[in-house]
Amino acid sequence: MKIGTDITVVSRIEKSINKFGDKFLDRFLSPSEQELSKRVESIAGYWAAKEAIAKALGCGICADLGFHDIIIYKDEKGAPHFRLTERARSIHKMKSSSLSIAHDGGFAIAIAIVTQIEH
């Protein structure tokens, strides 16, 4: 089991949105993720979540795991979850995962837990 965490300053994400608009959002969020995250705090939370997931997988955002290889979605109760693209799943053998995202006081934080399949 591996754990990844990330904290992001919401105002930094807001400045990037104001400066680059949809181009910034398209860089790291799929259209379905953009639909789920209308508020800047949620967008910052998704940024932190993708960084935390990449850390839990042991590689960070890199050639083997891009922002768009991580797909965040919510269950029927609104709890966040994620899945990897087929390409990323072929590299990162994941058995189970858990994701928590929170934002308060100008910060967004995410914690990801990943259990990998043993070789």
Band the pLDDT of 40: cuts 50, 70, 90. very high
Condensed to tens digits (0 to 9), the pLDDT of residues 100-116 reads 999 999 999 999 999 98
Domains plus CATH for the chain? 2-116 (3.90.470.20)
* pTM attached to this predicted model: 0.94
6 has binding-site annotation: yes
pLDDT number for residue 119: 57
User: In sequence order, which ranges of the chain are alpha helices (DSSP H)?
Assistant: 10-20, 22-28, 31-36, 40-56, 86-91
CA distance 104 to 106: 6
Instruction: Identify the burial level of 73 via C-beta atoms within 10 angstroms of its C-beta, where 0-12 means exposed, 13-18 middle and 19 or more buried.
Output: middle
Band the pLDDT of 93: cuts 50, 70, 90. confident
**Residue 14 near residue 116, CB atoms below 8 Å:** no
**What are the distances in angstroms from CA 15 to CA 31, 41, 42, 60?**
20, 12, 15, 23
